[in-house]
Amino acid sequence: MTKKHFSRAFTLVEVIIAITITGIILAALATALSGSLTVYDGNNQIAAINQAARVIMDRMGREMRMADNVDCSANLLKIYPDGPTDPYLQYSLNTDTGVFSYIQDGTSHELLGSEDDVSVQSFTIDLTQVLEESTLYTTLARIKLVLLIDGQSYSFTTSAVPRKNMDK
């Protein structure tokens, strides 16, 4: 009678099958992790652009609501806190450099510049004005700011009524 001899080692076929299954599982995990990191980066970019827009638009809206008057031209918004002869606040976009700045008392403060991940693509102001007794009043100011990040444009708008003209 012969005795059966059992080996405690794996055969070459079993090892190859185990390595193949492990490789498939690791490839699936790497693909899922790569997709998650892509979504994470995209969400960070959207959060950055929303934060930049919210800060700028909230500030402009608040200053317009507190102003006596608002005036604008291409890529330029002037906010007069206490009448048209007093010093004014100014927001402007330099289309050559892409710098969006805030100027107060002759001092310029860069809000978004060429060094930032977020840049300003366009800045437009639309004023609704009425003429009363030979004086032009701004009754509504609408601002549209288009920000650009990684080739994608995001549009933000705000509107405000200067406090002096709320009843016009």
pLDDT bin (cut points 50, 70, 90) of residue 25 is: very high
Q: Is the pTM of this model over 0.85?
A: no
Q: Is it the case that residue 131 has pLDDT exceeding 60?
A: yes
Q: Quote the mean pLDDT of the chain.
A: 82
Which DSSP state fits 84?
A: T
The confidence score (pLDDT) of residue 31 equals 93
CA angle 148, 161, 59 (to 5 degrees): 45
The confidence score (pLDDT) of residue 98 equals 75
**Where do the domains of the chain lie?**
12-165
Q: What is the percent of the chain with per-residue pLDDT over 90, rounded to a whole number?
A: 17
> In one letter, which amino acid is 30?
A
Greater pLDDT, 131 or 23: 23
Q: Is it the case that residue 40 has pLDDT exceeding 90?
A: yes
Burial class of residue 127, CB neighbours in 10 A (0-12, 13-18, 19+): middle
Q: What CA–CA distance (Å, rounded) separates 75 from 125?
A: 8
SS3 122: strand
Digit-coded pLDDT (tens) for 53-82: 888 888 888 888 888 778 888 788 888 877
Digit-coded pLDDT (tens) for 89-117: 888 888 777 788 888 878 888 887 777 77
